[in-house]
């Protein structure tokens, strides 16, 4: 018997996110080890939606076999025949580094192998910026989405990494049409308390952002209820805080809180979580076997928006 807390709502890819992506030219997406059902289905959906041009990397016979199962003619797309996870990861990353693809996407290979390929100096994807993972989470009924960083890449990000997260989240929100985002720094309290290190970090990060990042409102530390609930804000008499109860994005203190938070949105409310890694030369898509089709096409849309290629 499933938990009563679990939502039975099916994730829905936001129509406005797809439409915004379709306003740009579709990026070339290098799919590392594409020859498996999930990455091929995601590639077909995104290609038919006009938000991706696939560049297949992996075992050619497996890729063609999966395309045949979908009755999808892929003869017009680039295909790079490789063997095994490591060669596929290296080849896909190198294509992006060489300017032959605009987005790097994980297919049927382990995340550590994929990310090792992406961060390798040989790939040419490093920019001097930290890699930051961002989730764009939307509700099945629509409404304002919320962004979460970092829930998948940085395990215990230091202050400098979380400063980069603030900058990258702000850039992505700008591309999504939000000219003046409201960004919250998550802790367990709204007061800086030495016994709660994340609260002290929250104040330091908010102070830094106010001095160094233009055109945002930032507040921290904030407990989760004060980030998301206007009623909690009113009860605690924090109505003068411009972010409390109205946040567009949440910067988390570590991967555990970020991972738990995004999965709570997904499993408890049926949220659609589109994920992207920023800070590299190209956007990186870290798809998961557990991702529903809606999350996969929403992630492709996010990458197309991030690239912003003119038609």
Q: Let me know: does 266 contact 11? Beta carbons within 8 Å.
A: yes
**Taking CA 15 as the corner, what is the angle to CA 12 and CA 17, rounded to the nearest 5 degrees?**
100
Shared domain check, 63 and 163: no
Q: Can you give the pLDDT at residue 293?
A: 87
Query: Tell me: the pLDDT tens digits for 153-180?
Result: 889 999 999 999 999 999 999 999 999 9
Q: What is the SS3 assignment for 19?
A: helix
Q: What is the mean pLDDT of residues 138-146?
A: 92
183 is in which domain, residue-wise? 133-277
Cis peptide before 221 (omega within 30 of 0): yes
Query: Tell me: the pLDDT tens digits for 231-280?
Result: 999 999 887 899 999 999 999 999 999 999 999 999 999 999 999 999 99
Cα distances (angstroms) measured from residue 36 to each of 39, 64, 65: 6, 10, 9
CA dihedral 276, 146, 295, 115 (to 10 degrees): 20
DSSP structural state of residue 57: E
**Distance (Å, rounded) from C-alpha 188 to C-alpha 181?**
22
Shared domain check, 236 and 194: yes
pLDDT at 7 over 90: no
Contacts of 20 (CB under 8 A, 6+ apart): 176, 177, 301, 305
Query: DSSP string spanning 248-269?
Result: SEEE-SSHHHHHHHHHHHHHHH
Q: Can you give the pLDDT at residue 1?
A: 61
pLDDT at 290 over 80: no
Q: Can you give the pLDDT at residue 8?
A: 86
Tokens 């994929």 belong to which residue? Answer: 114
CB atoms within 10 A of CB 128: 5
pLDDT at 11 over 90: no
What pTM did the predictor assign?
0.93
Sign of the alpha-carbon dihedral angle for 67, 68, 71, 76: positive
Burial level of 260, CB count in 10 A (0-12/13-18/19+)? exposed
pLDDT at 3 over 90: no
Q: What is the SS3 assignment for 29?
A: strand
Q: What is the mean pLDDT of residues 288-300?
A: 87
pLDDT at 289 over 80: no
Q: Let me know: does 34 contact 63? Beta carbons within 8 Å.
A: yes
Q: What is the mean pLDDT of residues 3-20?
A: 90
User: For position 196, which CATH number holds?
Assistant: 3.40.718.10
Contacts of 37 (CB under 8 A, 6+ apart): 66, 69
Q: Can you give the pLDDT at residue 292?
A: 85
**Distance (Å, rounded) from C-alpha 149 to C-alpha 253?**
9
pLDDT at 183 over 80: yes
Shared domain check, 99 and 13: yes
Shared domain check, 5 and 44: yes
Shared domain check, 33 and 1: yes
Number of domains in the chain: 2
Shared domain check, 249 and 269: yes
Q: Where are the alpha helices (DSSP H) in 111-270?
A: 111-119, 159-175, 197-212, 224-228, 230-235, 255-269
**Taking CA 292 as the corner, what is the angle to CA 286 and CA 294, rounded to the nearest 5 degrees?**
90
> How many Cα atoms within 13 Å fall on the side-chain side of residue 200?
6
Dihedral-angle region of residue 84 (phi above 0 means left; psi in -120 to 50 means alpha; beta otherwise): left
Shared domain check, 259 and 242: yes
Shared domain check, 92 and 37: yes
Shared domain check, 167 and 86: no
DSSP structural state of residue 181: -
Shared domain check, 118 and 6: yes
Shared domain check, 205 and 83: no
Shared domain check, 236 and 210: yes
User: For position 115, which CATH number holds?
Assistant: 3.40.50.10950
pLDDT above 70: percentage of residues in the chain:
99
Q: Let me know: does 271 contact 261? Beta carbons within 8 Å.
A: no
Q: What is the mean pLDDT of residues 63-72?
A: 97
**Range in 13-27, 43-57, 199-213, 290-304 the model is least confident about:** 290-304
């Amino acid at each position: 018997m499933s938990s009563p807390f679990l939502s039975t709502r099916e994730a829905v890819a936001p129509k406005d996110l797809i439409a915004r992506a379709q306003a740009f030219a579709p990026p070339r997406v290098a799919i590392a080890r594409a020859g498996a059902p999930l990455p091929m289905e995601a590639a077909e959906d995104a290609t038919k939606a006009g938000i991706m041009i696939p560049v297949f990397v992996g075992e050619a016979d497996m890729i063609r076999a999966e395309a045949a199962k979908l009755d999808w003619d892929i003869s017009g797309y680039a295909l790079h025949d490789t063997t095994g996870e490591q060669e596929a990861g290296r080849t896909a990353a190198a294509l992006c580094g060489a300017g032959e693809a605009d987005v790097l996407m994980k297919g049927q290979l382990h995340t550590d192998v994929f990310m090792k390929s992406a961060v390798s100096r040989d790939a040419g994807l490093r920019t001097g910026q930290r890699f930051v993972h961002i989730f764009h989470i939307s509700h099945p009924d629509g409404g304002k989405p919320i962004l979460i960083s970092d829930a998948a890449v940085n395990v215990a990000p230091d202050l400098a990494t979380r400063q980069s997260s603030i900058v990258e989240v702000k850039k992505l929100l700008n591309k999504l049409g939000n000219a003046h985002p409201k960004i919250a720094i998550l802790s367990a309290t709204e007061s800086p308390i030495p016994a709660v290190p994340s609260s002290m970090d929250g104040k330091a990060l908010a102070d830094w952002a106010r001095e160094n990042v233009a055109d945002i409102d930032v507040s921290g530390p904030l407990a989760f209820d004060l980030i998301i609930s206007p009623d909690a804000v009113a009860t605690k008499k924090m109505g003068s805080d411009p972010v409390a109860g109205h946040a567009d994005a949440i910067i988390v203190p570590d991967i555990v809180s970020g991972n738990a938070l995004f999965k709570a949105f997904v499993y408890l409310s049926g949220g659609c979580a589109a994920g992207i890694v920023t800070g590299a030369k190209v956007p990186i898509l870290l798809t998961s076997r557990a991702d529903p089709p809606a999350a996969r096409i929403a992630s492709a849309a996010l990458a197309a928006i991030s690239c912003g290629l003119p038609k």
